[in-house]
Structures are given as structure tokens and as C-alpha cells.
């Protein structure tokens, strides 16, 4: 069943359930009664959950959340505070459940004087039990179900999961289903995601294959059967064997949406599918005639290909390429939470993804962390040379000289902000970059330095309009960073903005993905 | 009659010689070790007990309950063994090649006794010989390595040993209890071989940890004891010469008449970046008994390793 159909069905089911709820006036069993300490207010209902801090109960006023320390509980279903075990259910992409999540739970548990036991219930489901080392009592259970991103969103919307683990942002249909299942739920689903690690969709070959780069257009031709021989990619004449992850994986969906769909053709039928990305990497590594699509973190010993365009730039899926999103198929991994309060220990675990310990585990699992890094000055020189080579009839010498002057003595930070076509809305990774920059400002990491926000545009449209657009975007980003760094002493840092229009392209402007890579605001540190 | 008495005298002299020799060997064995606190820890000391038993109370408890105790407790009153040697556990160790630690255990009052070694989420049981001694190889998982030796009485002894050489190796460990034996499997994939190379577990010998340029899997623990805990440990150098290879790990649990319906218990540990170590205990409820033998294979519990440069 297609994703959209499944989500429309869920949304319909949820709407029907809500309509039924509205009519069922006589209340279900009144499990518990909460009474305020001064005995003034009393409310009864069935207990939905208790997290040690808050009762959630389904009362005749609807679902209520009531702070535990202000009330006393009466009724046989009142939770026992002494034996309370926090429970959380996490469902979603196996890219996260495989090694990063267990290792994060281990580190999180040990930081809190707890030990971790993994109960393997079946190949796709494990219960992780956190027990206090001091007295061996259970503190929490995390039930982790491994599947696809789609499984994660479905479980979150159905109330079967407290956290969805995703390899992509929600589709429009998933956002719609969320609105139906959580009427008035704020913020909306697409704003409740946080990036936990950076990864990328990459095309891979066996390590000893000579091919180093491929254009997304050629990749589409290969996977739709238009190109069937390595000879057409400049190699020995042999048939190409194709490998893809399973149909419902976030990666496969991203590949079809971003690479196959723009070609207007359908996937070749002879594609070999793999449930396990490790199996895919092993199959491609052992076959010099294979090309596969996988995640960078799961690429093993295969060789990830750079992406090339007709103007000769090769965009590399390396740490810098992913952090800056210069590599166009950067695919961050996300956690999505429900529009309700999670127990404190679970909130702490969600926050733990941003800890220093987490950064190390993220890198260890093969992902790229979001730590801000600065590219060396030589890189700026190389990019300036590219800008001169790419200068079109609309680029004047004065503009290039300005660019050269601004680039001198400034290092590019990995924080790069990108925009949808013609929009000023930041994508999720860009919002995370702005937030990280703000936190660094609050810690005083840039005190005494100058931060230059430098806007660039794609080459579509008139150069003068693009120049204005790039200046406006740079100013918008600088303001967003200032607003987010509310506790920073901004008098210690000099902010400035500049716009260079289409002067420094990272990719060719002849494709949608190339233009998306070029529309950006970079942050330079002087 | 006189001849008979002479024989008795001779036997007495021989016995005396034997006794002196045992005492002398004992003294020499103690001498060159790294100094550790040799004071026996009374079983009532809560902190060390917590250190040992808390990582897996159930396994720790079961170890204490099921092991025959050769001497009742270890009080100051019980000051010496049959030969007059002072009672008490001594533990010392030194780091050797390939990030292996040689551990010297001596407790003259506990001959032929099972003890449990615990280090960085790895456990296995060993047995002392008739003199109460044991020499054991322990693969380091952390440096400095904290090694805890536990006796069935609940008494523990701890030693810290620096193992700087560990930085040069990857290590992956699995231990299991006797109820349901497990097996660690390592599959090495390289582009050059165009095939899969499977590594089989070998007995733990410090001399043959590494075969050529690849990884090696070893078995630790003695299976001949009452309630054994055994371990498989995979070691591979971080810098491998030759074509890059990817090592994938899986756990296999044979389901047979002995293990079916049980919960397999054990733990896994794996070294990571910059001296980090990930560890967790495992509980795997096994399928109910149906008279059929099979193998439960669990892939993806451990991180793949990429050896050599791409």
C-alpha cells in the first residue's frame, strides 16, 4: 500500500474515532480521583499515564494533565510512587535502532548510575531496561521497535510510540494525518523534529572501481535502465548490477523522490533490494559491476561516489559536505516527539542526543556530528578560483574583487543555511545550525571575533535581483541568530552581512538540485 | 623392623622437603608481581560487592549460590591453610603483548575453587588449582583496566592495570551463562577475496591472538566448573595492512533440548573511539521446546568494523 494511502486511512480512522468520542457522553470507568491539597477541587477520570511528575487522565473535560505534587490520588488504580518504572516506546528507522540508539542508552544509563539490559523480544523489537546500580531496582524501560521511517510516523500518530525515529522529514500526507490525530496539537509535527545525526544518501561501488563521481542525471539513467553498461560511464563494457534498500525505507523513498522522479521514468525492474544496509554494502563491495544506493554511515568498505554536474564541480559526501549541506543528498536522522509532555527521564534522554558524549557515539556509529567546524583558509582560495572560472557575463570584476577581499583572512564555518526555491523558510538542518550558532555565541566562543553572514543565490533570474535576494537572506539569517542567542552578550561579537548574488556557485544551475545547493547563507569567521 | 623404620624416616624427610618446596614456590610466585592491596575484603564490604554484583545481580547471585564453597567464609580466625600458609586472596597482574593482561590469583585456603573475573562488561569463570592458584589471560577492554575477582562467598578483590597498547586494537566481547550457550561470529568481507571469511573461536592463548593481519576470536573461561560463565572475544589491530575489509558480527544461540524455553543471559561489550567502551547485558527468551534443534541468529547487535583504509 502506498504511503499516502496508508496515512489517509490512518487520518480517516482517527477522525472517525474522535467523532465517536464526541458522542460517547456517559464516561468510561472513573479509575481515579485527584483531589487538590486544600480539598477545593476534585476531578475523576481514567488514568492515561503517570510519569512521576504529572498525572494524565481522561476526564469528562477531556484529557487533563495535572501536576502530582499539588493533589492526592484516591482509587485502586492510583500509581505506586515507590515502584514506578518509566516507560517509553521508540519506533522507526533501523539506521538509528541498530547501533547508535543502544550505545546512547548505555552511555545515558551509566552517566546516571544505572546499568542497561537489552531484552531481545524478537528480531525487530528489544526492551532496554535501565536499573539503578545502587539497589538493582528498575528505573525505566525503553521499548524499541526497528522498522522504517514510515513505521515510526505511523506509530507516533496512532499513539503506539512516544518517539518516532526518522530518516527524513514527514511527508505532506503525514503532516495532514498528524493534524487530524492531534487536533490543536502544537507545534505541528514537522516542527517537532530534532536532528540527532547527519548522514547522506550515497551511490556506492566496490572499492577498486575506477569511477569517482557520477551526476544525479546519470544515476537516474542507470537506475531506470537507460544506461545499462559500464562503458557508458567511461569504464569497461560490462552490465551494471543495481542494488537498493527496501521499498519502504526512508532512503529508497528519498532516492525515488530526488533522483528518479525528476527523470520522469520508472525504476528498472531488475533492481536487487536489501532489507539490511549491511547486506547491501557487502554485496556491492564484492561485485565490481555493482552500483548501490545506501546511507554513508552504512557504506562499509564500498566507495561512495561524489556528485558531479556538467560544469565540473564534484560535491563530496564527506564531513564538511554533510555539515554544510553542500552535498545535496544530505539525509539527517531525526527524533520526533508527540505534542504532549514526556516523562522527565525520557525528556532527559532526548536532550542527551545533544551532549558531548553523544557527539562521540554519533561519529563512532559512522554518522557525522553537527559540531561547528571551520574550513581552512586554503579552501577559501580554492573556492575563489572556482568563482573566477565560473564568472558569467553578468559577473563584474568589482564584484569578484569584493568577494576576494571578504574571503581573505576568513574561515568558513560549517553552519550553512539553505532555503526552498523563492522562500525564506529554513529547512530543519538550517534551523538546527542557527540554534547551534546561537548556543556557541552564548558560550562566548566567538567573543572578540567578527561573524560575517554571506548570502548567495542561484543563477536563475536577473543578476541584480539575485544580488538583492542574497543580501536580504543574509540579513534574515543574522537576525535569526541574534534572536536565538537571547542570553549571549552580543556586544562582544561583531556581526556583519554581505550578499554576492550568484557569484560563487557550488553546483551547476542547470538542475533543481544544483540551484538548491547554490541558494545559501554561509557564515564566515574573521 | 629397623629397615621398616628407616623407610618411614625417609618418607618423613621427603614429606618435609615437599612442604618446604610448596612454601618456597608460593613465596617466589608472589614476589615479582605488581603491588596491590593484598588485604582480603570481608564479604560485608558493600562498595566492592556492589561493583561486582550490580552489573548483573542475577548472574552474580546465581554464581554465588551455585558454586560449591571449599572453605566456610574467610574470617581472621581461619588464618592459615593445612600447610600453614596464610589464608587470603591475592591478586596481581601485568599487561603483556596484544593488550592482554596476565592475572595471578592465589588463595591457598581455596584450592579447586571457582571464581569469576569481571572487566569492562566482560565476565568469565576460572578455577584455582590444588594449591589455590590460577594464572589467567584477560583481554583488556579499557585502560586502565579495572579487574574484579569475585569468590562465591561474595568476597571480591580489585586490581587496576594500565594497558596503553589497547589503543592499537579493536575488541568485541560476548559472555554467556551455562543455561544457554551462545557464540560470537565474525565475518570478514573484503573486495579482494571476493568472498566471506569466517572466524572461528579458538582457546585463549596470548601468543596467538593475531593471525597475520586480520582479527582473531578467542574463548575465555573454564567450562569444567559447576556453573560456568564463558566468553568469546574478538581482537583486530586498528591499522591493518592490505585491502580494506568490513567485519560484521552476529550472535548464535543453539536451541536444543537443554536451552529451549530458557532465557539466554549474557552480555556484550565493544571498544570504540578514543578509549570508549559500550556495554550491555543481554536477555534472550528462547522459543518453547518443540523437539526440533535449530540455531537462533542475532545479527546487528554489535557495530561493524572497517579495517584498513579505503
- Alpha-carbon torsion A73, A78, A83, A88, what sign? negative
The Cα–Cα gap between A19 and A39 comes to: 35
The shortest C-alpha distance from B159 to chain A (Å) reads: 21
Return the number of other C-beta atoms located less than 10 Å from residue A409's C-beta. 12
| Chain B, nearest residue to A120 by Cα | B284
The shortest C-alpha distance from B72 to chain A (Å) reads: 27
Residues B94-142 have pLDDT tens digits of 999 889 999 999 999 889 999 999 999 999 999 999 999 999 999 999 9
- Nearest partner of A58 among A189, A159, A186, judged by Cα: A159
- The answer to whether the CB atoms of B191 and A282 lie below 8 A apart is no
The shortest C-alpha distance from A447 to chain B (Å) reads: 30
Residues B232-281 have pLDDT tens digits of 999 988 877 777 888 999 999 999 999 999 999 999 999 998 889 999 99
CB contacts under 8 A, A 150-209 vs B, are 206-208
Residue ranges of alpha helices (H) inside chain B are 2-30, 46-53, 57-66
The Cα–Cα gap between B306 and A299 comes to: 10
Are the beta carbons of A289 and A243 closer than 8 angstroms? no
CB contacts under 8 A, A 79-138 vs B, are 94, 98-99, 102-103, 105-107, 115-121, 123, 128, 133-134, 136
Return the number of other C-beta atoms located less than 10 Å from residue A70's C-beta. 12
Q: Which helix (H) or strand (E) holds A152?
A: helix A149-158
- Alpha-carbon torsion A137, A139, A142, A143, what sign? positive
pLDDT tier, B1 (very low <50, low <70, confident <90, very high otherwise): very low
- Alpha-carbon torsion B64, B69, B72, B73, what sign? negative
Q: How many interchain CB pairs under 8 A, A with B?
A: 108
- The answer to whether the CB atoms of B54 and A134 lie below 8 A apart is yes
The Cα–Cα gap between B41 and B31 comes to: 21
The Cα–Cα gap between A290 and A230 comes to: 10
For the question of an ipTM over 0.90, the answer is: no
Are the beta carbons of A452 and A526 closer than 8 angstroms? yes
Question: What's the whole-number mean pLDDT along residues B286-306?
Answer: 92
Cβ-based interface (< 8 Å): residues of B facing A: 50, 54-57, 189-192, 194-196, 243-246, 248, 272-274, 276, 278-285, 298-304, 306, 308, 310
- How many residues appear in chain B? 310
DSSP string, A328-375: TTB--EEEE--SSPPPHHHHHHHHHTTSHHHHHHHHHTT-B-----B-
- Nearest partner of A140 among A103, A113, A100, A166, judged by Cα: A113
Mean pLDDT of chain B: 75
What is the pLDDT, as a whole number, of residue A17? 42
Opening angle at CA A494, ends A493 and A497, nearest 5: 135
| Chain B, nearest residue to A98 by Cα | B300
Q: What is the dihedral of CA A186, A188, A189, A195, to 10 degrees?
A: -90
Return the number of other C-beta atoms located less than 10 Å from residue A163's C-beta. 24
| Partners of A304 in the β-ladder | A204
Query: Which residues of B fall within a CB distance of 8 Å from A316?
Result: none
Are the beta carbons of A293 and A203 closer than 8 angstroms? yes
Neighbour order of strands in the sheet with A241-245: A272-274, A241-245, A290-295, A201-205, A303-304
- The answer to whether the CB atoms of A117 and B283 lie below 8 A apart is yes
Opening angle at CA A316, ends A313 and A321, nearest 5: 110
Question: Could you tell me which residues come within 8 angstroms of residue B298 by beta carbon, excluding any fewer than 6 positions away?
Answer: A120, A123, B250, B251, B252, B253, B284
- DSSP 3-state of A49: strand
Tell me A412's DSSP state.
E
Residues B167-219 have pLDDT tens digits of 999 999 999 998 889 999 998 887 765 555 666 665 544 444 454 456 788 89
- The answer to whether the CB atoms of A300 and B304 lie below 8 A apart is yes
The Cα–Cα gap between B231 and A442 comes to: 48
Query: Which residues of A fall within a CB distance of 8 Å from B310?
Result: 207, 301, 303
- Alpha-carbon torsion B61, B63, B65, B66, what sign? positive
- The answer to whether the CB atoms of A116 and B298 lie below 8 A apart is no
The Cα–Cα gap between B194 and B212 comes to: 19
| Partners of B156 in the β-ladder | B150
- How many residues appear in chain A? 526
- The answer to whether the CB atoms of A133 and B298 lie below 8 A apart is no
The shortest C-alpha distance from A110 to chain B (Å) reads: 10
- DSSP 3-state of B113: coil
Neighbour order of strands in the sheet with B122-127: B122-127, B114-119, B145-151, B156-161
Which of B247, B278, B298, B302 to substitute to test the interface with A, most A CBs within 10 Å? B278
The Cα–Cα gap between A329 and A200 comes to: 6
pTM: 0.81
Question: What's the whole-number mean pLDDT along residues B222-240?
Answer: 87
| C-alpha cell recorded at residue B216 | 582473531
Query: Which residues of B fall within a CB distance of 8 Å from A134?
Result: 50, 54
The Cα–Cα gap between A91 and A85 comes to: 20
Residue B89: is its pLDDT beyond 70?
yes
pLDDT tier, B57 (very low <50, low <70, confident <90, very high otherwise): very low
What is the pLDDT, as a whole number, of residue A22? 36
The Cα–Cα gap between B214 and B208 comes to: 12
Q: What's the start-to-end Cα distance of chain B, in Å? A: 85
Q: What separation in angstroms does the CA of B281 have from each of A84, A235, B142, B277?
A: 22, 49, 17, 13
Return the number of other C-beta atoms located less than 10 Å from residue B201's C-beta. 20
- Alpha-carbon torsion B248, B254, B259, B262, what sign? positive
Cβ-nearest to B284 among A120, A361, A363: A120
Query: Which residues of A fall within a CB distance of 8 Å from B280?
Result: 102, 105-106, 115-118, 128
- The answer to whether the CB atoms of B189 and A300 lie below 8 A apart is yes
- CB-neighbour burial class of residue B161 (10 A; exposed 0-12, middle 13-18, buried 19+): buried
| Chain A, nearest residue to B50 by Cα | A134
| C-alpha cell recorded at residue A35 | 483531589
What is the pLDDT, as a whole number, of residue B36? 35
pLDDT tier, B310 (very low <50, low <70, confident <90, very high otherwise): very low
- The answer to whether the CB atoms of A301 and B190 lie below 8 A apart is yes
The shortest C-alpha distance from B139 to chain A (Å) reads: 21
Query: Which residues of B fall within a CB distance of 8 Å from A285?
Result: 189-191, 246
Which of B304, B308, B309 to substitute to test the interface with A, most A CBs within 10 Å? B304
Does the N-terminal peptide bond of residue A187 adopt cis geometry, omega within 30 degrees of 0?
yes
Return the number of other C-beta atoms located less than 10 Å from residue B47's C-beta. 8
The Cα–Cα gap between A335 and A344 comes to: 16
Return the number of other C-beta atoms located less than 10 Å from residue A73's C-beta. 18
Q: Which residues of B128-138 are buried (b: 16+ CB within 10 A; e: fewer)?
A: beebbbbebbb
What is the pLDDT, as a whole number, of residue A373? 87
- CB-neighbour burial class of residue A464 (10 A; exposed 0-12, middle 13-18, buried 19+): exposed
| Chain B, nearest residue to A117 by Cα | B281
Are the beta carbons of B52 and B4 closer than 8 angstroms? no
What is the pLDDT, as a whole number, of residue A335? 95
| Chain A, nearest residue to B189 by Cα | A282
The Cα–Cα gap between A464 and A455 comes to: 14
- The answer to whether the CB atoms of A361 and B272 lie below 8 A apart is yes
The Cα–Cα gap between B172 and B264 comes to: 19
Low-confidence ranges of chain A (pLDDT < 50): 1, 12-28
CB contacts under 8 A, A 354-383 vs B, are 360-361, 363-365
Which of A107, A123, A136 to substitute to test the interface with B, most B CBs within 10 Å? A136
Are the beta carbons of A140 and A67 closer than 8 angstroms? no
- The answer to whether the CB atoms of A301 and B283 lie below 8 A apart is no
Amino acid at each position: 500500500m502506498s504511503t499516502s494511502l496508508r496515512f489517509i486511512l490512518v487520518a480517516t480512522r482517527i477522525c472517525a474515532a474522535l467523532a465517536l468520542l464526541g458522542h460517547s457522553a456517559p464516561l468510561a470507568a472513573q479509575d481515579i480521583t485527584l483531589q487538590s491539597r486544600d480539598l477545593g477541587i476534585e476531578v475523576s477520570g481514567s488514568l492515561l499515564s503517570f510519569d512521576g511528575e504529572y498525572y494524565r487522565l481522561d476526564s469528562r473535560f477531556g484529557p487533563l494533565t495535572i501536576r502530582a505534587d499539588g493533589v492526592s490520588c484516591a482509587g485502586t488504580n492510583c500509581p505506586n510512587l515507590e515502584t514506578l518504572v518509566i516507560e517509553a516506546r521508540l519506533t522507526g528507522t533501523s539506521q538509528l535502532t541498530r547501533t547508535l540508539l543502544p550505545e546512547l542508552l548505555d552511555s545515558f544509563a551509566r552517566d546516571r548510575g544505572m546499568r542497561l539490559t537489552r531484552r531481545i523480544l524478537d528480531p525487530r523489537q528489544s526492551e532496554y531496561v535501565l536499573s539503578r546500580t545502587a539497589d538493582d531496582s528498575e528505573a525505566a524501560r525503553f521499548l524499541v521497535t526497528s522498522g522504517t521511517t514510515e513505521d515510526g510516523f505511523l506509530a507516533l500518530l496512532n499513539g503506539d510510540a512516544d518517539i518516532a525515529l526518522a530518516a527524513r522529514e514527514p511527508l505532506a500526507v503525514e503532516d495532514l494525518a498528524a493534524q487530524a490525530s492531534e487536533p490543536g496539537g502544537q507545534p505541528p509535527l514537522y516542527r517537532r523534529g530534532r536532528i540527532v545525526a547527519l548522514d547522506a544518501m550515497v551511490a556506492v561501488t566496490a572499492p577498486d572501481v575506477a569511477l569517482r563521481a557520477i551526476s544525479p542525471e546519470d544515476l537516474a539513467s542507470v537506475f531506470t535502465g537507460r544506461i545499462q553498461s559500464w562503458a557508458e560511464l567511461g569504464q569497461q563494457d560490462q552490465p551494471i548490477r543495481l542494488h537498493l534498500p527496501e521499498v519502504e525505507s526512508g532512503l529508497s523513498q528519498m532516492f525515488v523522490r530526488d533522483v528518479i522522479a525528476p527523470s520522469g521514468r520508472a525504476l528498472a525492474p531488475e533492481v536487487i533490494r536489501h532489507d539490511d544496509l549491511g547486506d547491501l554494502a557487502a554485496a556491492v563491495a564484492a561485485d565490481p559491476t555493482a552500483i548501490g544506493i545506501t546511507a554513508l554511515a552504512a557504506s562499509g568498505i564500498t566507495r561512495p561516489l561524489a556528485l558531479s554536474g556538467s560544469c565540473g564541480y564534484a560535491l563530496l559526501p564527506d564531513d564538511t559536505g554533510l555539515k554544510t549541506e553542500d552535498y545535496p543528498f544530505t539525509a539527517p536522522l531525526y527524533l520526533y516527539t508527540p505534542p504532549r509532555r514526556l516523562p522527565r527521564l525520557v525528556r532527559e534522554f532526548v536532550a542527551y542526543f545533544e551532549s558531548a558524549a553523544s557527539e562521540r557515539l554519533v561519529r563512532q556509529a559512522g554518522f557525522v556530528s553537527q559540531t561547528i567546524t571551520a574550513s581552512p583558509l586554503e579552501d577559501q582560495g580554492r573556492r575563489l578560483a572556482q568563482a573566477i572560472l565560473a564568472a558569467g557575463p553578468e559577473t563584474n570584476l568589482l564584484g569578484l574583487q569584493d568577494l576576494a577581499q571578504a574571503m581573505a583572512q576568513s574561515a568558513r564555518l560549517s553552519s550553512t543555511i539553505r532555503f526552498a526555491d523563492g522562500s525564506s523558510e529554513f529547512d530543519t538542518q538550517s534551523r538546527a545550525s542557527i540554534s547551534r550558532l546561537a548556543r556557541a555565541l552564548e558560550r562566548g566562543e566567538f567573543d572578540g571575533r567578527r561573524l560575517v553572514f554571506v548570502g548567495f543565490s542561484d543563477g536563475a533570474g536577473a543578476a541584480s535581483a539575485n544580488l538583492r535576494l542574497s543580501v536580504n537572506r543574509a540579513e534574515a539569517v543574522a537576525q535569526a541568530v541574534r534572536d536565538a542567542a537571547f542570553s549571549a552578550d552580543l556586544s562582544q561579537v561583531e556581526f556583519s552581512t554581505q550578499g554576492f548574488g550568484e557569484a560563487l556557485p557550488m553546483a551547476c544551475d542547470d538542475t533543481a538540485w544544483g540551484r538548491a545547493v547554490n541558494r545559501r547563507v554561509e557564515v564566515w569567521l574573521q | 623392623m629397623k629397615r621398616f623404620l628407616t623407610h618411614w624416616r625417609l618418607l618423613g624427610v621427603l614429606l618435609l622437603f615437599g612442604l618446604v618446596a610448596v612454601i618456597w614456590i608460593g613465596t617466589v610466585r608472589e614476589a615479582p608481581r605488581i603491588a596491590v592491596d593484598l588485604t582480603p575484603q570481608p564479604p560485608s564490604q558493600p562498595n566492592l560487592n556492589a561493583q561486582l554484583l550490580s552489573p548483573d545481580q542475577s548472574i552474580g547471585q546465581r554464581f554465588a549460590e551455585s558454586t560449591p564453597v571449599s572453605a566456610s567464609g574467610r574470617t581472621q580466625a581461619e588464618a592459615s591453610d593445612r600447610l600453614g600458609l596464610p589464608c587470603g586472596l591475592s591478586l596481581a597482574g601485568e599487561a603483556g603483548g596484544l593488550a592482554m593482561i596476565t592475572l595471578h590469583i592465589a588463595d591457598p585456603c581455596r584450592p579447586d575453587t571457582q571464581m569469576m573475573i569481571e572487566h569492562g562488561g566482560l565476565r568469565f569463570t576460572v578455577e584455582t588449582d590444588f594449591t589455590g592458584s590460577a594464572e589467567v589471560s584477560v583481554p583488556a577492554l579499557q585502560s586502565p583496566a579495572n579487574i574484579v575477582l569475585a569468590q562465591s562467598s561474595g568476597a571480591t578483590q580489585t586490581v587496576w592495570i594500565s594497558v596503553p597498547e589497547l589503543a592499537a586494537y579493536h575488541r568485541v566481547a560476548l559472555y554467556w551463562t551455562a543455561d544457554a550457550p551462545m557464540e560470537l561470529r565474525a565475518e570478514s568481507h573484503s573486495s579482494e577475496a571476493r568472498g566471506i571469511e569466517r572466524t572461528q573461536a579458538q582457546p585463549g592463548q596470548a601468543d596467538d591472538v593475531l593471525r597475520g593481519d586480520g582479527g582473531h576470536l578467542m574463548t575465555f573461561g573454564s567450562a569444567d566448573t559447576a556453573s560456568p560463565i564463558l566468553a568469546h572475544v574478538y581482537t583486530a589491530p586498528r591499522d591493518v595492512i592490505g585491502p580494506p575489509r568490513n567485519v560484521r558480527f552476529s550472535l548464535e544461540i543453539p536451541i536444543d533440548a537443554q536451552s529451549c524455553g530458557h532465557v539466554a543471559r549474557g552480555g556484550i561489550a565493544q571498544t570504540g573511539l578514543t578509549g570508549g567502551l559500550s556495554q550491555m547485558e543481554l536477555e534472550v527468551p528462547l522459543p518453547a521446546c518443540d523437539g526440533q534443534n535449530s540455531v537462533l541468529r542475532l545479527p546487528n547487535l554489535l557495530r561493524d568494523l572497517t579495517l584498513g583504509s579505503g
